[in-house]
Amino acid sequence: MTDTETADGAERRHLTPIKWAFPIVVVTLLASLLGVMYLDYVVDPEKNLHNFPIALVNQDVGDDIGAPGQTRHVNFGDQVQEGLEKAVPADKIDLRVLGINEAQLQMQQAQVYGTIIIPSDFSKRLGILGVGSVIPGDIQQPVLTLQTNPRTGAFATAIVQKFGAEALSQVQTQVGQQLTETVKAQLTPPDGGAAPELTGATRIALEKPLNIVIEQFRPLPGGSGEGLTAFFYSLLLLLIGMVGAMIIHQLIDSALGFLPTEWGPWYLHFPRAPVSRVTTLLIKWSAIAVMACLVSGALMGIGKWLGMPIDKPLLLFLYGAFVIIAVGFTCSSILAAVGTAGLIINLIIFIILGLPSSGGTVPIEATPKYFGWLAKFEPMHQVFLGTRAILYFNGSGIAGLSRGFWMAALGLGIGVVFGLGITRFYDRKGLERKPVNANPAS
């Protein structure tokens, strides 16, 4: 038997059908999971809408209407509020009746996505409109204001606008019918005779009596990408932490002789360094920490150069470096614990499950409910909340920075304890990093 035949036989023995099919099956399963998560995330946000918070502010003080001696006190604002509370589907919209100060505070803290405001003179202007529709004179339509919160994201703003178009159209119809009946009742003679017929112009004015105004609450400055810069900046921090940890893991293992290095046609395999698993992990963590500080500064500089508004640069730099360290340390610990399979675990945790549950593009309240469960602990959502709070909400802790920081600290703590614990265990058991078929002499 020739050397060539021997080599061919060895190749066939080493690359069995199971070994050949295994990576194909793994990639297919990962791709299927990726498809389910990403398509289910975005395919039907309206169907998945639940607990979407919108504030309702009713400032109407009411008014006395009717002929002298026959006046009665009415409050159309209360009627509109009651109508909205009945009409809005409670399983989809979380309609919060708040005072104006509390509503604005919750808008500033990203606790609600929009606010409907009924002004204090709502009933008075409706009464004036009813009288003015049949008596000559200048009148102004009562105003209903829908405030959107663009800092919570473009998709959330679109949902608020669509909700406003549907809900306030119903209010317009309801108030129009009631105002028409009120005017007819006022025009009816005391003796019970027939009321004069309303003109066409009067009917049109009474059918749509409200001036519905849509405005932005604290519009975003230019260079904010319609509220998407926070999401993509968070994505960069997460990717750099994960991918950077994998690259550092690979290169340091190669430099220490645990893995071969290939540069084009050149193949290098340095002698294996006599270092423990704990020491190896600490070397990788030190490299990740330095990389995190450099990259966080570079990202912030690039953002400034491209015109992205950054009101709190020091806070963004520190938070960015902290997030990269937390993600990088955890990824390195997983790789140290399970080896090559850690690449798949990191991909599932930080990318496949993380991005759809981040809430960065589609609000969590407009995704299937299990995404809300994932968002409680998935790193991407916590990073997004912290970054958005720094970029859009003046570094407010309630707007997400507190949760983003403490969840990152928790993740870092878990990564450090897990990494040191597992590598010390391997070292104490004498589980050295060497080929399983190596003999003692080698």
For the ranges 140-149, 234-243, 408-417, the lowest mean pLDDT is seen at 140-149
CA distance 366 to 41: 9
For the ranges 16-30, 297-311, 332-346, 352-366, the lowest mean pLDDT is seen at 16-30
Cβ-proximal residues to 288 (8 Å cutoff; 6+ apart), any chain: 241, 244, 245, 248, 324, 325, 328, 329, 332
| 442 pLDDT above the threshold of 50 | no
Mean pLDDT of 99-106: 94
For β-strands 114-118 and 261-263, DSSP reports them as unpaired
Mean pLDDT of 87-113: 92
57, 67, 160 from 100: Cα distances, Å: 6, 33, 18
| 216 pLDDT above the threshold of 50 | yes
CA distance 167 to 187: 31
CA distance 359 to 376: 11
Backbone angles phi, psi at 273, to 5 degrees: -75, 145
Confidence (pTM): 0.86
Measured torsion, CA atoms of residues 329, 335, 338, 339, in degrees rounded to the nearest 10: -160
How confident is residue 165, by pLDDT bands cut at 50, 70 and 90?
Answer: confident
Residue, of 116 and 86, whose pLDDT is higher: 116
Q: Do the beta carbons of residue 74 and residue 61 sit within 8 Å?
A: no
CA distance 259 to 11: 21
Q: What is the mean pLDDT of the chain?
A: 84
The pLDDT tens digits for 385-439 are 999 999 999 999 999 999 999 999 999 999 999 999 999 999 898 877 666 555 4
Q: Which long-range contacts (CB under 8 A, 24 or more apart) does 192-198 make?
A: 198/133, 198/134
How confident is residue 41, by pLDDT bands cut at 50, 70 and 90?
Answer: confident
Backbone angles phi, psi at 211, to 5 degrees: -100, 105
For the ranges 131-135, 173-177, 403-407, the lowest mean pLDDT is seen at 131-135
For β-strands 143-148 and 211-216, DSSP reports them as parallel
How confident is residue 306, by pLDDT bands cut at 50, 70 and 90?
Answer: very high
CA distance 226 to 154: 6
- Name the residue among 174, 142, 153, 161 with its Cα closest to residue 214: 161
How confident is residue 168, by pLDDT bands cut at 50, 70 and 90?
Answer: confident
Judged by phi (left if over 0) then psi (alpha if -120 to 50, else beta), residue 226 lies in: left
Q: Both tokens of residue 358?
A: 């981040």
